[in-house]
Structure 1
Amino acid sequence: MEVEIHDHSLTLLRKLITFTCDACGKEGKDTPYLCLTCAFCVHPTCASLHRTVKHVRHQHTLNLTYSLPQIQPDYQICLLCVEKVDTNYGFYYCPSCTFVAHLSCAADGDIEDNINVLKDEDKESIEPITALRYGNPESVDSVSYVVKKKIMGEEGIEITTEIKHFSHQHELTLTHELKNSDKCDGCERPILTPFYNCTQCRFVLHKFCAELPRNKWHPLHQHLLTLSKNAYGIGKWFSCNACDLRSYNGFSYSCHKCNFDLDVNCSLTSDRLTHDSHEHRRLILSNATIRGKCSVCDSEGYVFRCSDCAFALDFKCATLPNSAIYEQHEHPFTLQYTLEDDSEEYYCDICEEKRHPKHWFYYCIDCSYPTHPDCILGKKNFL
């Protein structure tokens, strides 16, 4: 058959043999396709690969290639699964920004809409698609509120002081005065100034949460997500697909077609992460079809992987706040990545159960008071 990944036609070898695929570099025991002109030998699945693909995790088209220009070492890091790519064999490559991916990762068929094979007639439409996903969010009708009143602030800067937000029946007014300990009805974290306040009821939103776009793309999902309040009905909870935490009243970015939800915290986490807990700091979101084990809490789920070592961090740990407040304690707590001493006896001062020496914990340095994250935060990660 004629294929896109090779210049010559390929013939199916009707015999089971052990071989190394010249496309992906993996060994296989199969009935391969063989080029009778130059002995190019590939898995049947690799023979059907396309020369050019478009992946939801990258803004440019990816080209199948068998070598990198000049320079590069014998391997690169696949920016989808965060594992090594042997560049002596085939891989998908973006010449615009040196994005490299395994053939199997970029052409992953486990997610139906994860890959868009570009036909000739489609190539002219690449730029509009790219602008929609990676450009101005206004292009997907993302405004969440209507401006009702503005004032002129210092240096001639306009300040929106009154809005009508999609999530609430009353108009909201901007304020800097904290009157109680209410939590934001968007992210469910303690309210901080400035925030929008309803004068007719107790509904409050951080200014930042009020300005969240109504629609957005996220690297964990292939469809456009829509910001919702009580997406499944008043009093019904949703579980965040990234961190597995439940929310009863907060905002969610939802895809109702797939029953996919992200809470506000996880929706703001991109596919690249810098975290103070790890020496190499550069963490990359692993492919959405690959569930990994978190190096901190041992839970399995979506993880950010280090491109230099085996360290992995799941969404729940990656989005833990650096500080927390416990209503029955007078001092703030700070997230700790290393143990407070070498006693080998570690307990939580809230539940009085043992703490795992490997797991992160919250600590009040004024009182030498350690706690489990779940004991101080509950089911949601409150600042």
Structure 2
Amino acid sequence: MDIACATISEQKVNHPSHPHQLERMFGHIVSSCVACGNKHEGVFFHCTTCPIFRINLDCASLPARLLIQISTKGNSIHSHPLTLAYSFPHFEQETKFYPRCRVCDGRFYFQLWIYKCDKCRYYVHVDCATSKREPFMSIFLRASAGNINKNYREDEHPNLLHCPFQDEGDNLLKHHMSNQKGTICTQHDGEMLNLSCHQHPLILFEKQTSVDKKMVSLHDPMKRVQLLCDGCVKPIVTIPFYMCCKYVDKQCSFVLHEWCANLPSQIQDYFDHPEHPLLLFPKIPTKFFGVFDCKVCELSSNGFAYGCTKCEYYVDINCAFIPNEITHEAHPGHLLLKVKPSTYPLCKACHWYVTEWGFHCPTCDFFIHAKCALLLPREVKHKLDKHPLSLRYEPAENHIEEYFCELCEDEFNPWKWFYHCTTCAQSMHPACAPLILQSQCEQATYSEVYYYLNMKFGGKIEIKDHPHPLTFVQGIQSDGHCSNCHEKYEYDKRLQHKMIFKCLECEFAIHHKCASFLFSN
């Protein structure tokens, strides 16, 4: 007899998982275990009152508490002791978002045993926590989020893009242009640049941020200063950059990153539109106020675009340079390849279907939208928290309460990506976190990416039959309904969360599409 069998008195046990005494079944048998759900060959205990209750000796001997450490297949680790639970707590508040195993990313079944952390939302299969998968069966298990061995060499992938970007001042276009030799001009501070796309000369700021003895502030939403590039519609947080010579006099708000002023005039053989070259458009002539929907990230934009007028195909200038492969902190060690899936898998970031371009790990079947990978930085700052908030890919440790967004005050699913400050225990939707000054706290969370992240609001138009100029803004709840809308449904008439033109002198406000109709007439 081995030690385990010899020390079990009278071959009977009283196990806390079952109300009746369990009795050893003689001989080595092959059977399914009600604890882990797997088939085993070996010693089993069963209930003579409930014949279907049968557990393997290994599961019967599982410790009530354990610490999952580095020894578990390399890198699955949790700092708190885990408690053995004899069913999945599917009625508990913290499990209502259907969490998955933190080691294998597999689903839970409520009748099977698990290990869970009582201090945070950490759940793991008993087999995953103890590394007791059957050796032969392990070849059928797909690679998982918790156990990843690096599958590429850095020297074989020069200029590989590592996501997420550090902060809101970093972006794909900046990295791409910095890797292109000879694309950045050699102008010096204060020198003028004339672009065919803009009616005024541009001044390069390289060493200082003042013009005509007046200070020009960089983008700093914490101080309510917004400086967005008219090309990529991303914040300008460092020098050098170009500014319209009329900016200080508030006659023109046109500004450009240095790299946006040196973009190539066209792109050949674009991966999603290889039939025709894509031409650079500072403003798409057929689109009112330059607003278009990007074919790759599916976000609206009024910045520079690459497009084909023949096919009415347009992408924003960031999406024009998406690489074929990246890595991401949410799925470390594996290359993610650019794909347009034939099916509609779920994005790991936002849990929405990937219908357009995204990134995919073929080894692990890991999918993520291109916009989630490239537009959510590692850190953001917000006036509601004095510390930077970091991007989280799973529930934070020591956080057993419900997760509420500090901005919109709605509860959210912590298994979707979110921003979190550990010091202050504050969390935010990624879509609510960006400090876009025109519409704070007015984001409709259709996805994890702020829908108007590629929009630069501002600018005015004049329409017939209204005496005042209208300003281009994002609608908020107090704007009410469109003053010109004849939509069939009441919901469509609302201006909240929409692109609108609003009179700042009276209560007149209309949808962007209504303004385009009135303006053209």
TM-score (norm 2): 0.41
Give the Cα separation in 2 of the matches to 1:332 and 1:326. 7
Write the deviation string for residues 255-306 of structure 1: whole angstroms up to 9, x where unpaired: 2222222222222321211212103330111247665432221222222110
Task: Tell me, yes or no, if structure 1 residue 318 matches structure 2 residue 373.
Answer: yes
Q: Secondary structure at the match of 2:280?
A: strand
Q: Secondary structure at the match of 2:243?
A: strand
Task: Tell me, yes or no, if structure 1 residue 196 matches structure 2 residue 242.
Answer: yes
Q: Secondary structure at the match of 2:278?
A: strand
Q: Which residue of 2 aligns with 1:358?
A: 415
Task: Tell me, yes or no, if structure 1 residue 375 matches structure 2 residue 432.
Answer: yes
Q: Which residue of 2 aligns with 1:169?
A: 199
Equivalent residue letter for 1:367: C
Name the % identity: 33
**Aligned counterparts, 1:115-154, within 5 A:** 150-151=187-188
Q: Which residue of 2 aligns with 1:242?
A: 296
Structure 1: state its 5+ residue gaps: 1-96, 98-136, 152-158
Indicate if the aligned counterparts of 1:305 and 1:313 stay in contact, CA closer than 8 A.
yes
**Aligned counterparts, 1:30-41, within 5 A:** none
**Aligned counterparts, 1:340-359, within 5 A:** 340-341=396-397, 342-343=399-400, 345-359=402-416
Equivalent residue letter for 2:329: D
Indicate if the aligned counterparts of 1:321 and 1:381 stay in contact, CA closer than 8 A.
no
Question: Structure 1 residue aligned with 2:271, among 197, 219, 241?
Answer: 219
Give the Cα separation in 2 of the matches to 1:263 and 1:365. 35
Indicate if the aligned counterparts of 1:303 and 1:314 stay in contact, CA closer than 8 A.
yes
Q: Secondary structure at the match of 2:330?
A: coil
Size of the aligned set, in residue pairs, is 234
Q: 1:229 to 1:313 in 2, by over 3 A?
A: same
Q: Which residue of 2 aligns with 1:335?
A: 391
Task: Tell me, yes or no, if structure 1 residue 258 matches structure 2 residue 311.
Answer: yes
Q: Which residue of 2 aligns with 1:286?
A: 339
Equivalent residue letter for 1:312: F
Give the Cα separation in 1 of the matches to 2:265 and 2:344. 28
Give the Cα separation in 2 of the matches to 1:163 and 1:227. 18
Indicate if the aligned counterparts of 2:242 and 2:255 stay in contact, CA closer than 8 A.
yes
Question: Structure 1 residue aligned with 2:259, among 208, 220, 245?
Answer: 208
Indicate if the aligned counterparts of 1:253 and 1:261 stay in contact, CA closer than 8 A.
yes
Task: Tell me, yes or no, if structure 1 residue 187 matches structure 2 residue 232.
Answer: yes
Report the aligned-residue RMSD: 3.2
Indicate if the aligned counterparts of 2:241 and 2:257 stay in contact, CA closer than 8 A.
yes
Question: Structure 1 residue aligned with 2:329, among 251, 268, 276?
Answer: 276
Q: 1:234 to 1:330 in 2, by over 3 A?
A: farther
Equivalent residue letter for 1:168: H
Q: CA deviation at 1:337?
A: 2.0
Q: 1:273 to 1:332 in 2, by over 3 A?
A: same
Equivalent residue letter for 1:373: P
Give the Cα separation in 2 of the matches to 1:329 and 1:233. 39
Give the Cα separation in 2 of the matches to 1:344 and 1:279. 28
Q: Which residue of 2 aligns with 1:112?
A: none
Equivalent residue letter for 1:235: F
Q: CA deviation at 1:186?
A: 0.9
Q: Which residue of 1 aligns with 2:364?
A: 309
Write the deviation string for residues 67-121 of structure 1: whole angstroms up to 9, x where unpaired: xxxxxxxxxxxxxxxxxxxxxxxxxxxxxx9xxxxxxxxxxxxxxxxxxxxxxxx
Which is higher, the Rg of structure 1 or of structure 2?
2
Equivalent residue letter for 2:297: C
TM-score (norm 1): 0.54
Indicate if the aligned counterparts of 2:190 and 2:205 stay in contact, CA closer than 8 A.
no
Equivalent residue letter for 2:273: H
Q: Secondary structure at the match of 2:371?
A: helix
Q: Secondary structure at the match of 1:254?
A: strand
Give the Cα separation in 2 of the matches to 1:160 and 1:199. 10
Structure 2: state its 5+ residue gaps: 1-155, 157-179, 210-215, 218-225, 247-251, 435-449, 455-521
Going by fraction, where is strand more abundant, 1 or 2? 1
Write the deviation string for residues 311-356 of structure 1: whole angstroms up to 9, x where unpaired: 0111121112223344565544332223223416211111111111
Q: Which residue of 2 aligns with 1:3?
A: none
Q: 1:380 to 1:334 in 2, by over 3 A?
A: farther
